[in-house]
Structure 1
Amino acid sequence: MLNVDDLSVWFGQAPDRVTAVHDATFDVAPGESFGLVGESGSGKSTILRAIAGLIPGWSGRIAVDGQAQAGDRRDRAFFRTVQMVFQDPYASLHPRHSVDAVLAETLRLQGMDRIDQRIVTLLDDVGLGRGFRFRYPHQLSGGQRQRVAIARALAAEPRLLLLDEPTSALDVSVQAEILNLLADLREEHGLTYLMVSHDLSVIAHMCDRLAVMQQGRIVEILPAARLRQGQGSTPYTTQLIAASAGYKAEVARPLRWPPKTGH
């Protein structure tokens, strides 16, 4: 479904050009969920934005369902196949557009018919129901806004979803609900996912395989089963897994509050 070969992405022009991604190569099979992990600034989200046509400066090859992409222009056929869900659902929704307006606009842009019926179906698919149809973003919780953003992405009936930290802006109590929703939608609609997250537990739960990124380069591609077992082939992956495991009791013990005063 997705082929990325020798992808490099940069910002600015020489001599001030900064390269954010260096020679990234990976494939995502139809129906697979593939993760990109790494510390902040490692280039994960930059790859998603280059695929979506949101960054003009890139070289290499990006192909979706066998169709090579060029530059930062994407045609309607591309967006019928690929949609993106962004990190912050409040920022990605127009504050003065109701849920109905958001979904209706997307459906019209994609040339869909039976707009009313499709809106009701989309809201049902993401677990909101028609009672949310005429609400505005400020009337919704963070989790509800992200459900609307997912419904908007599904409106085009895509086969590949680019998921950019889809739960990181949400409360912990809501994150699991959205992840379970995404897992259910993938199964029901036969979707392919490319997911970015700094949370290894999210990737281990959601993905089949993952690429580990460091300073703009892919240092390792491994099955999620090895991530769940805490196994990495490179020192950086091992360090990343150890850091994600949380604090160690013997390290935290001296940091207890309040400290002893000696009196």
Structure 2
Amino acid sequence: MSAITIRNLNVWFGAGAERSDAVKDVSFDVAEGESFGLVGESGSGKSTILRAIEGIAPNWSGHVSIAGEVLGKRRSRQFYRNVQMVFQDPYASLHPRQTVDRVLSEVMGLHGFTDIDSRIGRLLDDVGLGSGFRFRYPHQLSGGQRQRVAIARALAPEPRILLLDEPTSALDVSVQAEILNLLADLRAEHNLTYVMVSHDLGVVGHLCERIAVMKSAEIVEVLGVGEMRKLEANDPYTRHLLESSIHSVR
């Protein structure tokens, strides 16, 4: 079953002579429970696709269906239960004057949960922090701990789909592996579907089954991670990208 269906997605900024096309005629499907990667050079449109799905890209056209819901210009309450996003910079995405408890409580309150106290404890355990972090502020946490809080916040509404926008790129290399392993464990435990943006093929190869390679706002090729590791690509740009990253992928 398809969790995400995207057909002929276009995203642009400006109008007329000032129009800039950020995503052009993109189509792909993501199966329920799959982890799907979007890779390519900076500015190729990867993160813009996530923003279009999330509803924070102002100008877009095409067909987008998420968990059976065909999306229009506005998103339903159920959409925000089903789909959550984890951003690149965990410090910028957390309110500096709110404790971890407040961050998680607000999300669950917005989505109508009542047993908030027990849920917070379970969420913090799920992301490997524990109750000792409940009343800390973001500045009292390391980068990896802040990203774990951001992941807990994304999990709070019990979503089916996580959109991951470079979730480890702001972290030290030693911490990146911990967060990737956590995401892999959470996906298996909660049967989550991931769409992950990254410029690092090693990161994508760790977490995803398939990748879409983007160049100049378009998808040039979709291939499995096994094909990626064997450098079995048809498009010249994809082959160049794989060859230049071969050490990180292996």
TM-score range (shorter-chain normalised) is over 0.9
- The superposition leaves residues 67-104 of structure 1 with CA deviations (integer Å, 9 ceiling, x where unpaired) of 11011x21210011000000000000000010000000
Deviation at 1:13, TM superposition (A): 2.1
Write the distance in 2 (CA, Å) between the matches of 1:229 and 1:52.
33
Deviation at 1:15, TM superposition (A): 2.4
**SS state at 1:15 partner:** helix
One-letter identity of the residue aligned with 2:10: S
Deviation at 1:230, TM superposition (A): 2.0
What is the aligned length?
246
TM (norm. structure 1) is 0.92
Percent identity reads 65
Write the distance in 1 (CA, Å) between the matches of 2:135 and 2:68.
39
2:128 equivalent to 1:142: no
- The match for 1:57 among 50, 56, 59 is 59
Deviation at 1:7, TM superposition (A): 0.2
One-letter identity of the residue aligned with 1:128: L
One-letter identity of the residue aligned with 2:71: Q
One-letter identity of the residue aligned with 1:231: E
**SS state at 1:210 partner:** strand
Unpaired stretches in structure 1, ≥5 consecutive residues? 248-263
When Rg is computed on C-alpha atoms for both structures, the one with the higher figure is 1
1:244 is matched with 245
- The match for 1:38 among 37, 40, 44 is 40
2:174 equivalent to 1:169: no
Write the distance in 1 (CA, Å) between the matches of 2:187 and 2:137.
27
2:73 equivalent to 1:79: no
One-letter identity of the residue aligned with 1:17: R
Give the 3 Å change call, closer, same or farther, for CA 90–3 of structure 1 in structure 2: same
Write the distance in 1 (CA, Å) between the matches of 2:167 and 2:232.
25
Deviation at 1:204, TM superposition (A): 1.0
Write the distance in 2 (CA, Å) between the matches of 1:35 and 1:64.
17
Deviation at 1:246, TM superposition (A): 5.1
TM (norm. structure 2) is 0.97
- The match for 1:25 among 24, 27, 36 is 27
- The superposition leaves residues 163-195 of structure 1 with CA deviations (integer Å, 9 ceiling, x where unpaired) of 000000000010000000000000000000000
**SS state at 2:51 partner:** helix
